[in-house]
Amino acid sequence: MLIFASCDKFLSENLKGGYSSENYYTTESKAEMAVNAIYNSLYGNILWMFGDVASDDSVKGGDDGDQPQINEIDSFTATADNGSVGTFWQDSYETIARANNAIAGISGMQLDKEVADRLMGEAKFLRAYSYFNLVNVFGKLPLKTKPQNSAENIHVGLSGIDAVYAQIDQDLTEAAAGLSNVKDGHANKAAAYALLAKSKVFQGKWNEAVQAIQDFESLSAGYDLEPVYADLFKSGGEDSIESIFAIRYATNKIASQGNLLNVWFSPFIEGGYHFNAPTQSFVDNFDELTAGGQTDPRLDASIGREGQPWFNGTTFDKEWGNATGYLVKKYDEDAVEELAKSQSTIPQHRIRYAEVLLLKAEALNEQSAANTVAAADALDLVRSRAGLAKTTAATQADLREAIRKERRRELGFEFHRFFDVMRYGKDYAVSALGAAAWPADRYYFPIPQGETDANTALK
């Protein structure tokens, strides 16, 4: 009876040993911590299962019976209870929720304006980045922009694709206005303009894409192509003159807090799981030799293949990649030394200067047939770094195909290909992926069952 009599007082006690949303946002350092927590939520994201495996660049790989739900992604048979689909959704909305909390909390603080603008800009960039991935995987989405602290904010119905992109573009425009162009690993003004340009390209808004690229170029921020392509995919590559935004990993030697793709993709002889096995179709896309008659260096920087150098003086054996005879190389650590595979510090590039050049080429070419020369110039900068001759494409249609082919070679296994295949249209997708397995113009994965169970506004 004494316990029950005191319950009302007990339940009204203030939170001890932690913070609530009401009392957390009180100092600049706490605001910084809240924004840093958004970045931390990007760790371990499984975008590769959708960007690569669902495309024509790779298959599941790994042992035959391991992770069968990834095969469902590859074959477009995933249902709402697919575990990987659910994980990707949950991880992406975790990033969005942290961004929403930070935006709401910081907006109510009395901070130095420059600091507040920067922190809000970073949060909006990361929210836009997450929604960009989600809208390309799922299509219509619950568009959540407020903290999940009320039924109204939790139970949100589906927004159309145009509405999601409108929010992405608004967030990136506001982020660009508030961010500086300091290059310190955080999202900056250049990253916001670059992602905005990509969003506009994906929407086919060519004039606006060109404007965003011009805004990027007007920053004079010193971005350029890394002289040696393979150097981008080594520890320290996140600080390259080419890297605009990357997921970075600390050299803290704490187990399982490095780039886990070093475990997922590497050969079993290194203790890896050999997932995300490249296809012959990806290899065949490298059908041009350099001016010196050599294979395009991006091929062997991207994947391991029979008889080619691997790491530490070894030669790749096709038996290491038992699914296709190939394995992804971009995330394998070449000098692990005393560190575990899970402690790799190789970055995951999300936006780099080469992609901005390819977006520029595409936007200019689609904007007008009169832009063919300028579009080809941007394309040729990427080709030149790889040692290839200038493109011979002279018409708008031929240049369109050349740009698409170059994106696949340049950005292989950086989780872009599925998004590209889908946005190029159903004819292109069917040609790349085989007979269409979906009735609409493009394929979207099902919203996870856990979300439809929890969100009563979804029908």
Q: Where in the chain is the domain with CATH 1.25.40.390?
A: 29-179
**Taking a C-beta distance cutoff of 8 angstroms, is the pair 266, 272 a contact?**
yes
Which 3 state secondary structure label does DSSP give 277?
strand
pLDDT at position 5? 42
Which residues of the chain have a pLDDT value below 70?
Answer: 1-23, 251-253, 255-256, 334-339, 437
What is the torsion angle, in degrees rounded to the nearest 10, for the CA atoms of residue 70, residue 408, residue 95 and residue 78?
-20
Residues 299-308: tens digit of each pLDDT:
999 999 999 9
CATH number assigned to the domain covering 29-179: 1.25.40.390
The pTM is what? 0.94
Q: How many CA atoms are closer than 13 Å to the CA of 147, on its beta-carbon side?
A: 11
pLDDT reported for residue 252: 67
**CA angle at residue 416 from 415 to 421, to 5 degrees?**
130
* pLDDT value, residue 334: 63
Q: What is the pLDDT of residue 441?
A: 87
Residue 440 burial (CB count, 10 A): 9
How far is residue 155's CA from residue 144's CA, in Å, rounded to a whole number?
9
Would you state the pLDDT for residue 150? 93
Alpha-carbon distances of 77 from 278, 279, 430, rounded to whole Å: 20, 20, 16
* Residue 113, both tokens: 């304006």
Q: Is 325 left (phi over 0), alpha (psi -120 to 50) or beta?
A: left
CA 82 vs. chain centroid, Å, equals 21
